[in-house]
Amino acid sequence: MKFLAALLKLNDFAEMILLIYKIIMTSYLAYSIYAYIGSLTSWRIEKMYRNQNDDRQIKTWLVLKNVFRVTGTALLIAHLLS
């Protein structure tokens, strides 16, 4: 709701584009943090299955951990380059 109110108050199209750009860049940073949290959680779950010697679950959580880590890094780089 605040986002819509802010958009309606803007008079200049360039200001509106700048506001949307800032929101997208903030989202990149937020989702990067969420991806790193997901990576840490996946690592802990993978460690739990490693103690149980469940190879299929270990591989699944290893892939998820790496996907979260790569995604988080890509989003962080996108945020920093903007």
Q: Give average pLDDT by consecutive 10-residue segment, the chain, 82 residues.
A: 65 76 87 94 93 92 94 90 81
Neighbours of 28 (CB within 10 A): 19
pLDDT of residue 45: 94
Dihedral of the alpha carbons of 17, 21, 22, 27, in degrees to the nearest 10: 140
Contact status, residue 61 vs residue 45, Cβ threshold 8 Å: yes
pLDDT of residue 47: 92
